Chain A
Amino acid sequence: MIGQSIQKWDALDKARGAFLYPSDLHCDRCVHLKVLRAGRAHARILSIDTVAAQNAPGVLRVLTHADIPGLNSFGLITADQPVLCHDRVRFSGDAVALVVAESEQEAREACRLIHVDYEDLPAILEAREALAPDAPRIGQNGNLCHQVDLGFGDVETALAESEHVVRLTYSTGRQEHAFLEPEAGIAYRDDRQRIAIICGGQNPFADQKQIAAILGVPVEQIYVSHPPMGGAFGGKEDLNVQAHLALAVQATGRAARYVYEREESIGYSVKRHRFEVDVEVGCDATGKLTGFRASLLADTGAYMTLGPAVLVLAAEHASGPYRFQASRIQGQVVHTNTGNASAFRGFGNPQVILGIEQAMDALAAKCGLDPVDFRVRNLLRGGDRAAAGHIVRNDVTLPRLIEAARKGPLLSALSEERPQPDPDGKLRATGFAFVWQGFGLGAGAEPGSSVTLRRDKNGHFWLDCSSADLGEGNLSAFQQIAASGLGCDPHDIRLDIGTTDNTNSWSTNASRSVVVTGNAVAQAAKQLAARIEAGESGALEEKAHFAPLFPEKLTLGAPHVGYSYGIQAVRIALDTATANVTVEEVETWLDAGTVINPDGVTGQIEGGLAQGLGFALSEDLVQREGRVLNNRFSSYILPTIRDVPTDVRVHLINHPDASNPLGARGIAEVGLTPAAAAIANALARCLGHRFEQFPIKPEAILPVMEKALS
């Protein structure tokens, strides 16, 4: 039960090919969709001529902005993204028209017959150009989407009086989620005459609200279901196929199916925010940290999406789990024409950790201190003020991890390294990073989760909640938690999940499932067990709600109620002919709090690590004038099995978190976040150089390496 690596309820069916994913769903006589995308960064729409497409074989309807019955916009924070553009397109993926046809082929061919007259407008392709006085206006309210200014004390004086100051400037890549199952779903009128949308997504209730507004109908007339899907990683929080499917059903009365092609998915879906970061970190002669200053510029693309929330989380985490005397963290997230960015595992933290964790290594070297010791002496303790300005309520549990990590083969040999090429022509070095990652939605943004546990008249237990399972196994964890409370086998907890007809457990994101929804499940199980204990017979039902208590709020979304902590160390080999980096070994120490399913936890760390390797070394969009060139898996470079080392070890050293009764910590993101920082620190040990662009590609390493070796 709790603490056991049980087999997930759906794993065997998935392996056997028997499980139906959103892209496997069909309806009788369903229509197929194709969306005409702008294909240009920024333009005025002069006219849209759909006559030829409308008359093409198999075409039922060609919809444009004029056919949207309700609100022609959507968005999780602000509804600013058009469902079908009216007078302007703001990124190459903007939807302009929707073809509904009898077959995919006919929809695709008709799409080519739509003629749109554009007047191209000057485009913003660099975030730093967005706030120039003469910049074209992209956002609804100008190009500044959101800004933060956090910190305390006089940082300028603190840095000026510091013995050592390290300043780093760098930018990060637009990472694609690359879930193996692209955006997909079906829609139809259900037997209650509602429009039902069955698709990959991360929060059925958030979808329902947006779709109802677009169709101009009450929310009760929309039903959304998210069955387990082929991955999401934050990339299915924003609407993708949903609104277009719903419009097609409303317009034709027929069931509809829409599956993105991979080029559509990579080319037009949301990405990890590209950040430009400038940090200064100081310490005194004894190695005590003084001031922290950070300036963050994030590119959220044409529409707001979750840009403000990503920026806020980045600002909260930018200084790492370290104690400073003064700090200032300023951030801006701006609109450009480069394509939308939104949630992606790590949510801003992978971008900012590169600053603090590289600076910690560099400062330690300046002080002549071991980089682990240097970090240890500056760790936050419970009651300390973090650099963003909030009080960290509970002890940072890293010291327990450090003790174990120091005994590991990677960190114990750290001081002995002398990077000279080995006989195979490779330079080898170790690098590491400490990480903290807040879990749950932050202060003011976390509504909590409700769940219902039932015992039906046959004595079967049912868990009823709206949570979607993206593949991480949150539902299995809920089964384990419920079973622990009820004293039954986890597989005896039947699942009634993932839809707007279920009890609202809100979103599957932000490493919140086990911490927030899990505690609601535990509470419901406790209530139900008490009634069973009291001898109540027949059908029983208990509902519970859990919402973490936030003692303070810095700004909307910060701080988080608690953090998971980790240390990740990597061993890299740098080929001195090709500048290719091979990660040969990775060791991670993690405080996951109370662990529900150990394999589930280590699986999250390992999977996050692989995505972190991609973020560090290979994954980025290649764009030309706002269009994505590498929109396929042959050109967008994901790590294969050969790119992830065979030697990956994860050590769980757990300490229950005080923020919730279960003592759980959310850990779905913390494995990804430190990887790039650890690799950057290893490369610095090889080459004595800090790179200014992530991913760090061989093309950037080569000239630095040639100089270092000459």
Chain B
Amino acid sequence: MITFQLNGAPVQIADQGQTLLQVLRDDLHLSGAKLGCGEGECGACTVLVNGRPICSCLVATETLEGATVTTIEALAQTPDGTEICSALARTGGVQCGFCTPGIVMAWAGRHPDDTPDDALEGNLCRCTGYVKIRSALEQTGCLPSSKAAISDKADLSLKDALACLAENPDLIPIAGGTDLVVRAGHGLQSLRLFPLARLNTPELHQVFREGDTLIIGALMRWQDILHDPIIAQTVPIIRDVAYGVGSPQIRNAATIGGNIATASPAGDSLPALVALQARIRLIHRDGTREMPVAAFIAGPGHTQRRSGELIAGFVIPAKCLGQPQTFSKVGPRKAQAISKLSLATVKVPDDPAGISFAFGAVGPVPMTCPKAHHALASGIRDKDHLGSVAEQAMSEITPIDDMRSTASYRRRVAGHLLIRHCRELFAHDS
């Protein structure tokens, strides 16, 4: 059985491979959270989990033990909820209204710095064009309270967790689950999940210095990364990656470790961590090992993670910290975009080329284009030479045609972006 707080009262539900949205709508008859897409894109199912907006369609109930869940039915009774609902209703922000409860939740649980555009990236509205929603929300005075990142119900030691994983090779570790639940589709009940939220291991949830390196804990959620001052100061491209990950609802659930474990060629943290020359730290009951992220990613959906292993975090070398760096994501729209391609570039003082770079989504793994990198080491930085470096990179990447874009577009834009990034980073030298 899973026990959690729902709208102020404890509920117990059977552990049978459902999503939170299914439990709310089908079992508990709370129909304020709507089913619009079932994959975390539309936000109509948004609820607050531990105070933060999350798409309930992406929450495997196994991960909810000890959590606090608030739905629109309860929020609408609070002063903040009343104010947000009234503002939207009064100013024409509600047309068909199917998306509205999710919008109310997203705004109620927003980060204190969020504008409506920041807070509602994950809420599709097909009726209003968002114009009146923006102006309604700007009129609301309520301020969100700060939320703890980690469930205070974490009760499992790392040692016990690793022992359990080592003994049960079919267990699937799940953090945010935003990718796993979508891929499982209707087959969620056939998976044996091991919720990592239960781990009482703060270092997996934090960013911290270790010697002169920086460690980013694998369980850091993207929303925390986005607002973390150390990240912003030392590895700003990781913050830029976070900005482009899904939406607040996705970032409040999804982790950096999950992004790497999923090993999607379109995962934006892959090229960024590769360009930062990061190493991945893997822990197992029988010991810890590290390897370059570039070596860990074996192919689309494939990594070097061994059975029973957990990703503990990412080690960023000192030489890349605080260096000028740039990340570009090219997607089909400005939020909630799966990358057509991406490029991360980091200035590295001891590198023969002066920079380290990696492309995402233009090959099965992040593409570092060794020949183009070598050509940059010549030190020539005029327009013609950069053009030939870009041509070289374009010949080394292996983009494909798919429903999102074409190989030709990806290849040409990769060249343009590399030139743009080089100019930007080399400008720091002059």
Contact = CB atoms under 8 A, between A and B. Distances in A.
Contacts of A576: 416
B66 interface: no
A365 B72 CA distance: 55
B86 A12 contact: yes
Interface stretch (B294-302, B328-336, B374-382): B328-336
Interface string B400-416: 00011110110011001
A698 B409 contact: yes
A181 B338 CA distance: 23
Interface stretch (B130-138, B193-201, B307-315, B349-357): B130-138
Contact of A640 (B73, B91, B333, B416): B333
B62 interface: no
Interface in A1-43: 5, 7-8, 10-12, 14-21, 23-24, 26
A231 B84 CA distance: 22
A644 B335 contact: no
Given A15-B89, A105-B186, A179-B126, A642 B117 contact: yes
Interface in B129-169: 129-134
A147 B81 CA distance: 54
Contact of A16 (B101, B116, B123, B126): B101
A603 B93 CA distance: 8
B69 interface: no
A577 B416 contact: yes
A627 B226 CA distance: 39
Nearest to B329: A578
A612 to B, nearest CB: 9
A15 B85 CA distance: 5
A14 B102 CA distance: 11
Nearest to B73: A17
Interface stretch (A308-316, A469-477, A534-542): A469-477
B72 A16 contact: yes
A130 to B, nearest CB: 25
Contact of A641 (B29, B130, B404): B130
Contacts, number: 239
B417 interface: yes
Given A24-B31, A181-B98, A634-B41, A648 B129 contact: yes
B94 interface: yes
B263 to A, nearest CB: 18
B42 A180 contact: yes
A425 B420 contact: yes
A327 to B, nearest CB: 34
Contact of A12 (B85, B134, B334): B85
A113 interface: no
Contact of A606 (B34, B85, B99, B128): B128
B36 A606 contact: no
A178 B98 CA distance: 12
A692 interface: no
A514 interface: no
Contacts of A599: 91-92, 132
Most buried by B among A262, A611, A640: A640
B260 to A, nearest CB: 20
A447 interface: no
A329 B416 CA distance: 44
B67 interface: no
Contact of A577 (B37, B117, B336, B413): B413
Contacts of B389: none
A177 B124 CA distance: 13
A571 to B, nearest CB: 16
B130 A644 contact: yes
B136 to A, nearest CB: 10
B212 to A, nearest CB: 35
Interface in B85-114: 85-86, 88-92, 94-101, 104
A177 B96 CA distance: 14
Size bracket, chain B contacts: 35 or more
Given A577-B417, A603-B92, A699-B405, A180 B34 contact: yes
Given A630-B403, A632-B37, A637-B333, A15 B100 contact: yes
B141 to A, nearest CB: 17
Interface in A442-459: none
Most buried by B among A8, A233, A607, A646: A607
B38 interface: yes
A83 to B, nearest CB: 26
B34 A181 contact: yes
A640 B124 contact: yes
B131 A181 contact: no
Contact of A607 (B29, B37, B128): B128
Contacts of A577: 328, 413, 416-417, 420
Interface in A588-635: 599-600, 602-603, 606-611, 618, 622, 629-630, 632-635
A646 B126 contact: no
Given A16-B101, A180-B36, A606 B129 contact: yes
A484 to B, nearest CB: 20
A603 B125 CA distance: 12
B100 A23 contact: no
B131 to A, nearest CB: 4
A600 B33 CA distance: 25
B403 A608 contact: no
Contact of B36 (A181, A629, A642, A703): A181
B424 to A, nearest CB: 10
Contacts of B240: none
A510 B428 CA distance: 59
A643 interface: yes
Nearest to A12: B89
A471 B35 CA distance: 17
B6 interface: no
A702 B412 CA distance: 8
A178 B126 contact: yes
Nearest to B101: A17
B44 interface: yes
A580 B413 CA distance: 11
Nearest to B99: A180
Contacts of A249: none
A493 interface: no
A108 B96 CA distance: 29
A119 interface: no
Contacts of A600: 92
A579 B332 CA distance: 11
B404 A11 contact: no
Nearest to B76: A16
B129 A14 contact: no
Given A262-B36, A646-B117, A641 B134 contact: yes
Contacts of B203: none
Contacts of B34: 21, 23-24, 180-181, 230
Given A15-B85, A16-B101, A632-B41, A228 B96 contact: yes
Contacts of B404: 635
Contacts of A632: 37, 39, 41
A578 B330 contact: yes
Contacts of B95: 231, 471-473, 603, 607
Most buried by A among B25, B81, B100: B100
12 contacts: A15-B86, A16-B104, A17-B73, A18-B32, A180-B36, A180-B127, A229-B96, A231-B95, A599-B91, A603-B129, A699-B409, A703-B412
In the A-B complex, the 8 residue pairs with the smallest Cβ-Cβ separation, listed nearest first, are A17-B32, A471-B96, A14-B97, A230-B98, A17-B72, A610-B129, A599-B92, A606-B129
Interface of A: 5, 7-8, 10-12, 14-21, 23-24, 26, 105, 108, 177-182, 228-231, 233, 259, 261-262, 425, 470-473, 576-580, 582, 599-600, 602-603, 606-611, 618, 622, 629-630, 632-635, 637-644, 646, 648, 698-699, 702-703, 706
Given A11-B90, A12-B94, A633-B36, 13 more contacts: A5-B92, A16-B85, A228-B97, A578-B416, A579-B409, A610-B129, A633-B42, A634-B41, A634-B336, A638-B333, A641-B130, A643-B335, A648-B131
